[in-house]
Amino acid sequence: MNKVILTGHLSKDVESRSTNTGKMVASFTLAVNQGFGKDAKADFIPCVAWEKWGENAAKYLAKGSHVMVEGRLQTRSYDAKDGSKRYVTEVVVNYMEFLSQKPQNAQGGEKTNKVTNNTPNLFGGTVVANADDDSIPF
């Protein structure tokens, strides 16, 4: 069985594009903590979301957003422009749960990643209300 479940924060904004056939694909990197306290480190896991998941990732996620992804681990290769062969390992997203709101820009008010009672629960998952960064262990 190939199943991956990760919870973390986006390390940069989502990059989205459409394929030649019109399918939406979004790529993002998820920073996932390895430990706690002064010895804490993070792994930076590349994730790919297709079609509706890709559209929603591009629309609702931004750098710093807290998200849970479920998917499968995929390894693929491609030929780089310089002729060398490159290998990529990434998580192909089958399900996502947004654990924070997309940070707003300067015109939209304060930038925040805290979950509130009005956080959109777009895909039937459970959202914890009124959580703050101090109550989350990572």
Q: Give bridge partners of residue 45 from the DSSP assignment.
A: 30
Q: How do the domains of the chain map onto residue ranges? A: 4-135
CA count, 13 A, side-chain hemisphere, 98: 27
The predicted pLDDT at position 61 comes to 93
Domain 4-135, architecture per CATH: Beta Barrel (2.40)
The predicted pLDDT at position 102 comes to 66
Q: Which regions in the chain score pLDDT beneath 70?
A: 102-138
Q: How far apart are CA 91 and CA 46, in angstroms?
A: 6
Q: Which amino acid is at 25?
A: V
The predicted pLDDT at position 124 comes to 45
Estimate the share of the chain in helix, then strand, then coil, as percent rounded to the nearest 5: 15, 40, 45
The predicted pLDDT at position 51 comes to 95
